[in-house]
Structure 1
Amino acid sequence: MNKPVLHQLAWRTCLLTAVIPIAIRAQEIPQNDGIGRAAGTKLERVEVNSRALSDVELRRQSKIAKQYFGREELDKYGDTTLPDLFKRLPGIDVQNGSPTLRGLSARYTQVLINGEPAPPGFSLDQMSPALVERIEIARTAVADQSTQAVAGTINIILKEAPSRAQNDLRATVEYYAEHPTTGFNYVWGQRKGGLSATLPLAYFEWHGIQNIRNERIMEGLDGNPSHAVQRGQAGFGGWFITAAPRLNWKLNDDETIGLNSYLRRIASYSHSSYANLILAGLPSLEDDSVGSGEGNTVNLNMSWNKVFTSERKLELKMGGLQTHSASQSSTFYRDTSTNELRPQRLSLGDVHERGLSQSGKLVELAGDAHTVSMGWDFDQRRREERRTVTERGILQTDSLEGESFAATLTRGAVYVQDEWEIAPFWSAYYGLRWEQIRTNSVLEVSTAPVRNTSAVLSPLLTLNYALDAKKRDIVRLSLARTYKAPELNQLLARPIINGLFPDITISNTELAPDRVGNSALRPELATGLDIAFEKYLSGSAFLSIGYFQREIRDLIRNVTTRMDVPYAKVPRWIAVPQNFSKAQTSGLEVEVKGRAGDLIPSLIDAKAPLNVRSALNLYWSKVDAVQLPNSRLENQQPWSALLSVDYRWQQVPLHAGATLTYRPGYAAQATPTTLYTTNLSRGFDLFAAWTINASSTLRFNARNIAPVETVTATYLPDGFQQSARLPSTIYGLSIELKL
């Protein structure tokens, strides 16, 4: 971070932490007993009891339809990364390492860390579950968080400062595709008086190999029909180390200061090699390649909480962020005269990103029925990027290579919300949020900056009705306006040349287009309806049935056309994101969880230590501009299912279980001329945990047993391409110690 930015960040930090509390203190009204309001008010339930409640009880008391997953679920399989955990949670799919809700594309699912947007470059496969306290999944939006949550929100709550001393270690050895890997998780926590601290650390290596099969029927390098099949292997791996230190200082009964951070260092590599079978023409082929990358992230946040009276509370937050990543990749071609590999393309990238955020929230209890909150969010990030691509030592595009790109993204929001206890059986949540996102990007060769501004007003309403006095049967209804702003790379006019046709003196094909952004993109707006019925049985068993519907305006899709471009002497096929159409999606989601004896007491003894979780999700969608069979939203499967069981033996200290997930193959008509297909997806995982004594546990797991080849294909009127990948099974062994 350069000195001006550091000075600015330091100055604003001092101003907000020193001036604001003093100004607020000057307006304090006399205090009574802090937050000692009568039991049953909302503020006390949230602040005092939430940690002690079970996942099921938190779900039952939530103001909106929400799922909670705590330490028991996070630890069960001994996962080393969050995507391994997510794929076994009901209603979640994992696509390319990113979680998705409602079967929609990952970009419709909002991922937060401690309620704040995840830092740029953040990847869930680089975070250990050991850093996480719990995971919350909200099916509808709330006003005090960003409403960029068309499908829903996944909030990752990092380890909190402990109420007692903690000193836990987990050492792990895994075997994946011919390579053993090692890792460890360590969590230290301590409390002394009003000061408490926790330090979670995680280090992991990963290695993997996928078998690859590619087939293409399309125009070749000479413009004539071609047909080729490639078979090969792709290897990848690396290591990461992360830490999430957290400090809480209780100054008195009414005032607390919190400091928390997220630190990450990562290094990675990749390589691929192919054997080619040319069946016709002069095809363009994937080249053998090697690549490497490294990066680091520093995210620091501070909070100040002040309770003025039993009816009023204020929370202020601010944070700073800095990330850096560098990458390089090389491809090689085989010299037909010598059969030797020679350098073809070299790509170098370097990205710096800095950010500053500030937010505030005032909570006011209005009588016994209302909890009113109002606040603001501000976030500004600046990205500086430099990229260079050379072909056999010559710059790929003279006007762009090596030029720096800079972009500033500014997000601001204000909101108000109310939690209303209408009557013993009725409660409501309603809110209003206004959010604006501004981007300002500059490429050195450009004559003017590219600007884009989007603003959305989001009204939100949830009604909850309990059918019985004990609130074991609850009906929830939610209406919400949500949106998805265009990503930065969708706005930028900087072209990305397709790797199959890197020579810009010849044309490419519709199946292998270049990519360029569109600065005129508007945000996708969604109007949503959610209805859910939740039945809570004895113990921790429950049944949930939910229906959702989304109406999406200004749907963004890539549209491929052939046009003249400034960086090439011949017309090229270009994929440009456009506000393509309207779309509708709906779905039915069923989830059952609990001890088997509580779910079916007529068949299984209530004392049997057998736990069951199952889920079935059905999805429908349609895009108005595509009036053809299989018209549906991208990456949305027609249905998915999950079944998970685990059993605790009473005679021996053994806990074991298995999870099966299934998603069928399907076809999606993206445009009137473009059809995508994907085959079925299946996952089968096992775990066994042996409790040696009160302070040590030995855990074994096997993930992705009997893997299924993933096959995706794209069909156009004059061509076809298909890609197949077969992953490997992962075996893991870990020892957990409470020191």
Structure 2
Amino acid sequence: MIRLTLVAAAILSATQAMAEEKKEEPVQKVEIKGAAQAYNPRKDDTASKIIVSSEELKRYGDASIGDALKRVPGVTVGAGGRDIRMRGLGSGYTQILLNGERVPAGFNIETLAPDSIERIEVIRAASAEFSTQSIAGTINIVLKKAVQTAQREVNFGVTHSREANNPRGNLILSDKDGNFSYSVNVGGGRYFFERDSFTDDELIDLTGQPRMARRYLVHDHGYARGIELSPRLNWTLENGDTVTSQSFINKNTFVSNSDRAYRVAVGDAPFYDSDRLESANRNLFGRSDLNWVHKFGEGAKLDAKIGGKRMRSKSQWFETDAHAGEAALQHNVFSGIREWGVSSTGKYSSPIGSDHSLAAGWEAGYTSRDDWRNQRDLFSVSGVRSDKDEGYLASVRNLAAYVQDEWSISKAWSVYGGLRWEGLLTRSSGAGFDPVNNRSAVWSPLMQTLYKLPNGKDQLRAALTRTYKAPQASVLSGRRFTSTNNSQTDTDFVGNPGLKPELATGIDTSYEHYWNEGAMFSVAAASRRINNFTRRNTFLDSGGRWVTTTMNNGRADVRSLDVELKFPMKAVMDNAPALDVRTSVSRNWSRVESVPGPDNTLDQQVPLSATFGLDYKTPDGKWSMGGSFNYRGNGLVRMDVNRYSWATPARQMDAYIAWKVDGKTTVRFSGWNLLKQDYRARTTFIRDNGQLASESTSTGVCNIRLQVESRF
């Protein structure tokens, strides 16, 4: 990592030297900007954040948020785009917000169309305004709000690969009429797929001889379809107050048919050696907020919001398991989720003199969740039928209050201080387990500071934070999920009602250098100490079945280092083309105290990630093109005394070219994963009789997309 930092510093020195030569130009260009244009939140805000604009999200024609976020420094995205991570940490350590509020469990943000998003805020250090359930950081997705002029825009594109086709369209309508404005975003698409994957299981005895070797082949085909609607209405009242209604409705369906079978090379096949699976899942999510902003005298302001949400999900799972080629078990599952909730947030802010900006606020909410599951098993040979009706009711009450102050000590030095109290009460009950009442409360003192050096180019940041990770209701319940072919690598799962929240104390520091418009170099380091660390434990129960559960187990330490460099070529070269260069490297370390080393890092933490990208625009602005390379390192992780995981590094190359036909129409051609690299992940158990391993392989697939964007 030191070598990477030195290389980045060397590049910075070279570009600075070229920039200094450029200062000798006999003619200088003077550009006057308004206050709004001059403000740069990345540079000027005391709280450290990275802003991904709507333009950046649409540059590559990405069909999903995950594809866009993987190019953001310090952010990595797992397979499928759902596991979004900061500092290499997912699984709840990275907080995902939608318009400042946490998304409900089970909601897939990949169903959000990039066209409906105004910006994405990547917040490295916690602030009191948002929930401090953000040990790794926060990603806040802000839907489109502002209506400047009348707009009619339609986008339609088709993505194709050898495994799938995905047509998708989006329509945006907005207009203003006096003190009233509105915007409506309607989007939808369909996804057809047919793909193959496989998993290899093997057992090597103490002499190195294979005792079991078999491959689990999966052929999967089906479709997904979805539609989303996000209307926004704005009123400006006569007294200057503003009232805004914003809603978001998302409906999607996923249907899959799978044929799966074992191919045995050594040893015996499991009892159920093949199966056919038919599944369907239908989700509906809706959310509506009413926001009121009232301005008092002398710059004071009250920003209050009330809202409600509703989620409904239904799933059907029909599985026929075969033994020796004959149907042996019909496994039918009907499940669903019904969730609703109400929430209220508010913030009162007021300047105190010319140096302080004081704010206080609240957040309160109630969520009710009904999770049900009816299972019908029919054993064909014996005719025995087994019915299992399971489910649980859960409610979550959350309440938070905070106060914060941003103090400009001088033009060069600003300090942010905040204190947030956040309490959670989770209650759940259901068949087969005792009722659970889990209460937690966390005080989060927070401090950040920004100091700008006299040269106007360099600045330093530091932050002290207290954050936490609360267990989800589904993990707290004692409800048991069973596996068909139960084994050490395919276990049952049961929750732990006694789980406590993980608590983390963190420190962040960074150095930033801005030497020209659009040119920036930064080095950021961070450390987190996590107490009540939660990890998974696998054991053999009294009934002879392998079971996995979660448990609090000691302490974990996390460290990270991020290096970022971006600049336009015109900042370092005379008469340079309109070429923008961006690159970043992130290195992450961790250590779990309760697991012996070496390699006792957090489960699936990404140790190293890097990005490099180039974007070019022709002088007439008609053509733009670019490419991006992403690297996500992996390696060996010791998750328990006898359990290890390993995965291959991931390398992805994306590119795009866009043609602005006229002032209203753009044609964009994009390609993702041009390297088509396969991905393998392996779990290994060290046993008394040898080594048991399971390795899954996903075939790399290149996707291409043609998209037309038109305004009228």
The alignment's TM-score, normalised by the length of structure 1, stands at: 0.86
Aligned to 2:78: 95
Kindly provide the amino acid, as one letter, of the partner of residue 159 in structure 2: E
Counterpart mapping for 1:307-706 below 5 A: 307-334=295-322, 336=324, 339=325, 344-392=330-378, 401-444=388-431, 446=433, 448-468=434-454, 470=456, 472-501=457-486, 509-564=487-542, 570-598=543-571, 601=572, 604-605=573-574, 607-650=576-619, 653-706=622-675
Q: 1:460 to 1:62 in 2, by over 3 A?
A: same
Q: Helix, strand or coil for the counterpart of 1:107?
A: coil
Q: Which residue of 2 aligns with 1:10?
A: none
1:159 and 2:144 matched: yes
Mapped pair 1:232 → 2:215? no
Equivalent residue, structure 2, for 1:725: 698
1:105 to 1:179, Cα distance in 2 relative to 1, 3 A: closer
Counting only pairs closer than 5 Å after superposition, residues 212-231 of structure 1 correspond to structure 2 as 212-217=197-202, 226-231=212-217
Would the aligned equivalents of 1:531 and 1:547 in 2 still touch at CA under 8 Å?
A: yes
Say if 1:87 and 1:93, in contact at 8 Å, map to a contact too.
yes
Q: Contact between 1:294 and 1:326, CA under 8 Å: does it hold in 2?
A: yes
Deviation string, structure 1 residues 114-149 (Cα, Å, up to 9, x no partner) = 111123432121010001001110001010110000
* 2:42 maps to 1:73: no
Instruction: Name the CA distance, whole Å, in 2 between partners of 1:537 and 1:655.
Output: 25
Is this contact kept in 1: 2:432–2:478, CA < 8 A?
no
AA of the residue aligned to 1:428? V
| Partner of residue 685, structure 2 | 716
**Paired residue type of 1:646:** D
Q: Distance in 2 between matches of 1:396 and 1:462?
A: 67
Cα pair 2:164 2:194 within 8 Å, conserved: no
- 1:191 is the counterpart of 2:164: no
Contact 1:161 1:248 in 2 (8 A): no
Q: Given that residues 254 and 308 in structure 1 are in contact (C-alpha distance below 8 angstroms), is that contact kept between their aligned partners in structure 2?
A: no
Q: Tell me: CA distance 1:125–1:341, structure 2 relative to 1, closer, same or farther (3 Å).
A: farther
1:593 Cα deviation from its structure 2 partner: 1.6
The offset of 1:353, in angstroms, is 0.3
Q: Tell me which amino acid in the other structure corresponds to 2:339.
A: E
Q: Render the CA deviation track for 1:435-464: whole Å, top value 9, x for unaligned.
A: 011110111455x52110111100000011
Deviation at 1:356, TM superposition (A): 0.5
Map of 2:160 onto structure 1:
175
1:542 partner letter = M
Structure 1 residue aligned with 2:104: 119
C-alpha contact (below 8 Å) 2:229/2:248 kept by paired residues: yes
Name the SS for the 2:166 alignment partner. strand
Contact 2:378 2:384 in 1 (8 A): no
Is this contact kept in 2: 1:390–1:396, CA < 8 A? no
Q: Give the C-alpha shift of residue 201 in structure 1.
A: 1.2
Letter in 1 for 2:72: L
Partners of 2:379 and 2:294 lie apart in 1 by 61
Q: Distance in 2 between matches of 1:553 and 1:196?
A: 49
Which structure 1 residue ranges, 5 or more long, are not aligned? 1-48, 502-508, 565-569
The one-letter amino acid paired with 1:537 is W
Partner Cα distance (2:66, 2:538) in 1: 32
1:57 is aligned, of 24, 28, 40, to 40
Aligned residue for 2:516, secondary structure, equals coil
2-side partners of 1:397 and 1:206: how far apart? 39
Amino acid at match of 1:344: Q
Moved more, 390-399 or 460-469: 390-399
Deviation at 1:275, TM superposition (A): 4.7
Letter in 2 for 1:298: G
Q: Which of 283, 286, 290 is residue 295 of structure 1 equivalent to?
A: 283
Mapped partners of 2:416, 2:200: distance in 1: 53
- Post-superposition offset of 1:659: 0.7
- Partners of 2:383 and 2:46 in 1: CA distance: 55
The gaps in structure 2 that reach 5 residues or longer are 1-33, 205-209
Who is 2:19 aligned against?
none
Deviation (angstroms), 1:534: 1.2
Distance 1:547 1:177, change over 3 A: same
DSSP-derived class of the 1:671 partner: coil
Partner of 2:263: 277
Cα separation, partners in 2 of 1:525 and 1:400, compared to 1, 3 Å: farther
Amino acid at match of 1:317: K
225 and 495 in structure 1: CA distance in 2 versus 1, 3 angstrom threshold? farther
When residues 360 and 397 of structure 1 are mapped into structure 2, their CA distance, relative to the original with a 3 A threshold, is farther
Deviation at 1:303, TM superposition (A): 1.0
Note if contact 2:262-2:269 (Cα within 8 Å) is conserved in structure 1: no
Q: Is the 8 A contact 2:379 2:385 kept in 1?
A: no
Q: Distance in 2 between matches of 1:94 and 1:288?
A: 31
Distance 2:111 2:574 in 1: 42
Matched, 1:84 2:53: no
Tell me the alpha carbon deviations over residues 22-45 of structure 1, each in whole angstroms, 9 at most, x when there is no partner.
Answer: xxxxxxxxxxxxxxxxxxxxxxxx
Q: Letter of the 1:304 partner, please give it.
A: W
* 2:171–2:185 contact (8 Å) kept in structure 1: yes
For 2:665, give the aligned amino acid.
S
Deviations 1:594-649 (A, max 9, x none): 21232xx2xx4354111111110111111111221111011112211100111112
Tell me which moved more, 91-100 or 238-247: 91-100
Matched residue SS, 1:264: strand
CA shift in 2, pair 1:606/1:548, >3 Å: farther
Q: 1:590 to 1:258 in 2, by over 3 A?
A: same
Distance 1:305 1:123, change over 3 A: same
Aligned-pair distance for 1:286? 6.4
Would you say the 8 A contact 1:328–1:349 is kept in 2? yes
**In 1, distance between residues paired with 2:242 and 2:504?**
38
String of CA shifts for 1:72-106, please: whole Å, max 9, x gaps. Answer: 20110111211111122221111242210001124
Deviations 1:200-232 (A, max 9, x none): 11112223344312111359xxxx964311233
| In structure 1, distance between residues paired with 2:193 and 2:673 | 13
Match of 1:20 in 2: none
Rounded Cα–Cα distance in structure 1 between residues aligned with 2:149 and 2:72: 30
TM-aligned CA deviation for residue 196 of structure 1: 1.1
CA deviations on 1:371-397 (whole Å, 9 max, x unpaired) are 111111001100012102223369999
**Helix, strand or coil at the partner of 2:57:** helix
Report the aligned-residue RMSD: 2.3
Q: How far apart, in 1, do the equivalents of 2:529 and 2:172 lie?
A: 44
Where 1:287 maps in the other structure, the secondary structure is: strand
What is the identity, as a one-letter code, of the residue corresponding to 2:671?
A: A
- 8 A Cα contact 1:161 1:246, kept in partner: no
Residues 400 and 445, structure 1, Cα contact 8 Å, conserved in 2:
no
* TM-score (norm. length: structure 2): 0.89
